[in-house]
Amino acid sequence: MIRSLKYYSVLALSVCLSLPAWAQQENPVKKVGNISDVQISDQKVLLSTDNGINAEITAYSPSVIRVRMSEQPLAEDFSYAVVAAPQQIKVNITQNDQQLSIQTDSLQARVQKNPFSIAFYTPDGRLINQDEQGLTTSWIGEEVTTYKKMQEGERFIGLGEKTGGLDRRGNAYTNWNTDAFGYSTGQDPLYTTIPFFIGIHSGLNYGIFLDNTYRSNFNFGASNNRFSSFGAEGGEMDYYFIYHTKLADIITSYTALTGRMPMPPLWSLGYQQNRYSYYPETEVMRIAQTLREKKIPADGITLDIHYMDAYKLFTWNTERFPDPLQMNKKLEDMGFKTTIIVDPGIKVEEGYAAYESGLKEDIFLKYPDGQNYAGQVWPGWTHFPDFTSEKGRAWWREQVKLFADQGIDGIWNDMNEIATWGQTMPGNVLFDYDGHLTTHKEGRNVYGLQMTRASYNGAREAMNKRPFLLTRAGYAGMQRYTAKWTGDNRSEDSHMLLGIRLLNSLGVSGVSFTGMDIGGFTGNPSVGLYARWIQLGAFTPYFRNHTGVNTKSSEPWAYGEEVTEIARNFINLRYRLLPYLYSSFYESTQTGQPVMRTLAIDYTHEPLVYSSDYQNQYFFGEAFMVAPFESTTSFGKIYFPKGKWYELFTGTVEQGGQEKILQLSYNRLPVYVKESSIIPMQSLIQSTAEMPTDTLIIHVYQGSVANQFVYYEDDGESFDHEKGEFYKRVISYDPRKKAISFGEAEGSFKSKFNHIKLVLHGFGDGGRWRLNGKSASPKSSFVSFIDPISRFDPQGVSNPIEGYNVKSIVIRNENGRFSLTY
């Protein structure tokens, strides 16, 4: 039937009049719309919609799918975070009128066409994650947000340096690198941006990384019961969806995208004594000498801003430090490495070498009219190098070389959020962004990352050995260059426990080398709090004691003799554990798994892991489970996941699958060893400059599950390990075969240990022991991981050393395979 144009005009008018008034107005929220065009190219699908949106979906690897969307033509593919190119993989892409399917052997994405929405499924068809179909992705002005349907019982972890609980459901967060002095336990944002989280539900887990450096926002059901969402205030919607059956593998895939840490210098894993500030030189030497006199092992002393001349970077106050090189040589002779603080601000002062050089090289951030931006920091009005330009980074690398000439081993990058007095850098300050000129709005969150990049590369080249880098601010991928500490915390029990959660969350988010200011930066801890905190510090990746100006001295001896002994005990234990810790760092370089790890990594779908009672428990490496508590707590609840758990100091066995209330003591930290664990240790040393004895002690804990440990060793200082100069072997425990086996040693480095002492926990007195088929006889051995806190009580009666009897056997350390059976 033929109808007139007038008929359709009247019909359209009547439909319009029947809609509510809000639907007749122009919608301020722009949706993706319906897919109008599809182009398929190998592993990539290019899409456009009837709302003018351009999209690209790429099978990045078997377990990773990337989604990009923009109102504009998609920009040049550029990222400061992602360093991995797409893998060449087999992908099956099909479509019909309603749906587009992209399938790898590990993951499938189904894209609905009318309107656009995307859902991710397992290969066998289980739903992992899907757009909230009524909202999907939309724009409000330049701000873009993707909305995901909240799954039943869904939990969320990660996002790096974020306060709050382990499970982020019901909360919202903003990423905007901020100078957060003395932050509260619920404050957001803090110093660092890592827009990566992991969702957990229905026995499944997935990761989402939003690679957008504008201010970004994440909502996990805060003030709504409909969706979780993530978005940014500018730029593209650009995210990577990661799926694996194991949560640990999600971290591995995320760090494959954003890079993994290099092997740190061995000394940086030792105890670090810091203060804001140690000066003059005589005070620095007094601290170093006291550590040695009191037999408190230590490897590093850090100098804060008072070493500079009027806070001017790349200068020394010659009254306080008349000969920095000579001082650092004396410290080196005592087994100490020196780390110094650097801030990005260069003082505006004629005749100041760094300022004049920066002007000449034209490397400072600028306003749109070409004038250098100036902000106030410690030295007064300062300019800031543009670390997002290769010219700015090259200039900085040359300046950093000065430190190598002065005997410096570590660089602490501070105030790099960027911090300025007033805390409000103008939005129109321009950043080169490596040829993609942009404003402060896009450049701020990567400024700290690029500063550490320039510092690391400059120090590596100048020192010709592994430098230690520390930073306060950063972005995803920062692990490629630097360690991270949690900034200006407070001397409170709640901050100590928050610090544990911050480090665990950073670990989930790819940053393994992390620490916090032991004792708190602001305020004065109680004796009990300091004692508990330094015990925990021994079980954190970066062990740094630090306090602020106008606070009580916070060296271990400042809290009395008993606390000095507590500190000495746990620092001693840290140094005996260095072979285990160094090998755990090696694992981070290979797989991205953090040294300090929330229980959620291994026990992802056990609800008690996320309980407020147990969320602070964590693993240190794969063997030790640590249970932190407030210093004022006399009794504590501990959750033991399935399996068998050995109390570290007494050998007492606890069965898993239970919650237990235990009495606490402020001179003992609750630490348990997981069954089947393999823990290499060494003799006590006072610094890593000292050689341990030639016997590597390997503790093996009897258990019901098979386990492997990759033991790793190199010279701890040079880059020769990158050329094969390392010693690595796999140590295995198989209870079914009743065997402890050593694989063939790999690498050309000769181990510093000529003998191996196997210490056997929980194996009992029975068994027919054989070494490589020949009869062997383990001997009774007394094991103690800690000395008595008070060697004599008031009556003068000697206290017994805490420990217990086990079996042990000494074997010559040869490179070939060998096995001990029982």
Residues with a known catalytic role:
414, 417, 488
Q: Which amino acid is at 17?
A: L
Q: Which residue has the tokens 């996002």?
A: 159
Distance from chain centroid for Cα 239: 20
Angle at 250 between CA 245 and CA 251, to 5 degrees: 145
Q: Which residues pair with 746 in a beta bridge?
A: 728
Spatial separation of the C-alpha atoms in residues 134 and 781, rounded to whole Å: 67
Q: Which amino acid is at 310?
A: A
Spatial separation of the C-alpha atoms in residues 491 and 351, rounded to whole Å: 41
Beta strands 143-149 and 137-140, pairing class: antiparallel
Angle at 549 between CA 545 and CA 554, to 5 degrees: 35
Q: Quick check: 123 and 110 in contact, CB under 8 A?
A: no
Spatial separation of the C-alpha atoms in residues 288 and 301, rounded to whole Å: 8
Half-sphere exposure of 446 (CA within 13 A, CB side): 27
Spatial separation of the C-alpha atoms in residues 228 and 231, rounded to whole Å: 11
**Assigned token pair, 78:** 């550029």
**Assigned token pair, 185:** 């336990």
Spatial separation of the C-alpha atoms in residues 629 and 238, rounded to whole Å: 40
Angle at 422 between CA 429 and CA 489, to 5 degrees: 115
- C-alpha distances (whole Å) from 632 to each of 492, 522, 618, 636 are 11, 19, 20, 11
Contacts of 689 (CB under 8 A, 6+ apart): 267, 299, 332, 335
Spatial separation of the C-alpha atoms in residues 749 and 291, rounded to whole Å: 32
Q: Closest Cα partner for 337 from 395, 389, 270, 242?
A: 270
Backbone angles phi, psi at 31, to 5 degrees: -90, 165
SS3 state of residue 287: helix
Contacts of 698 (CB under 8 A, 6+ apart): 678, 679, 680, 681, 731, 756, 757, 758, 759
Q: Which residue has the tokens 């894209």?
A: 111
SS3 state of residue 66: strand
Asked whether the bond before 778 is cis by omega within 30 degrees of 0, the reply is: no
Q: Closest Cα partner for 391 from 363, 433, 420, 359?
A: 363
Helix axes 527-537, 493-508, angle to 10 degrees: 20
Spatial separation of the C-alpha atoms in residues 290 and 553, rounded to whole Å: 14
Identify the H or E element spanning 535.
helix 527-537
